Amino acid sequence: MPISPNCGGLAAGNEIDCDYKQHGGTEPNILIINKVDWDLAVTGTTITFSDSLITAIALTTGDLGYLFESFPDSVKPVSTSVLKASGLRYKQSIEFVITGGKAAVDAIVDSMVDERYVVIYINTFKDQTGQGKYKVLGVDAGLKIPDGGAVKDTHGDNDGAWLMKLENTDLALESVPLYTFWHTSEAVTDDEFVTLQSAAS
């Protein structure tokens, strides 16, 4: 089910984030970080948490995530609650389109199969302080490309674009429906986000 922005009324089956709300769609760019690099930073305490809030992200020197260029509102995150014997867990997924026509992008997509990733996407609208801007998926278990989750469009106006999906496997789910990345102010968080990325071009 989609993550609901409506804190006044909640549809059955939806998860909700009333502290750091998201509104009005998603920005066209998406940052994908290898889960191995993320876990090294967590172990080194350069990624810090406060409940569902991530208050700092700094990867090990030399490690960067890939910033993919997508289309406005083509980035579509989903978090679905799953009741397990161990308690409530969340299966996350995200669909997006990568603008194509670049051999370097094709090579990166090909190399992503069988790996796990943490994904940061950007909300189009957020509250006045910017706290709802950056959302993070795959923090606990990482997201993978499922079978058929990377399809290259070879027809029409989007010739060469990749239609992408990343998701948790059924055996590796998340403990939190959605994390928010926020450090001190919107400007500081923006700066940290930039330091994490290498353009996939």
**Residue 168, CA distances (Å) to 4, 92, 151 in order:** 20, 6, 18
Distance of CA 182 to the CA centre of its chain: 14
Sequence-ordered alpha helix ranges (H) in 35-102 = 35-43
Domain ranges of the chain: 21-180+189-199
Predicted TM-score of the model (pTM) = 0.84
* Per-residue tens of pLDDT for the chain, all 201 residues: 344 444 444 444 444 455 544 455 788 889 999 999 999 999 888 899 888 899 999 888 778 899 998 887 789 999 899 988 888 999 999 999 988 767 888 888 888 988 999 999 998 877 777 788 999 999 999 999 999 999 988 776 666 889 999 999 888 899 998 899 999 899 999 999 999 987 554
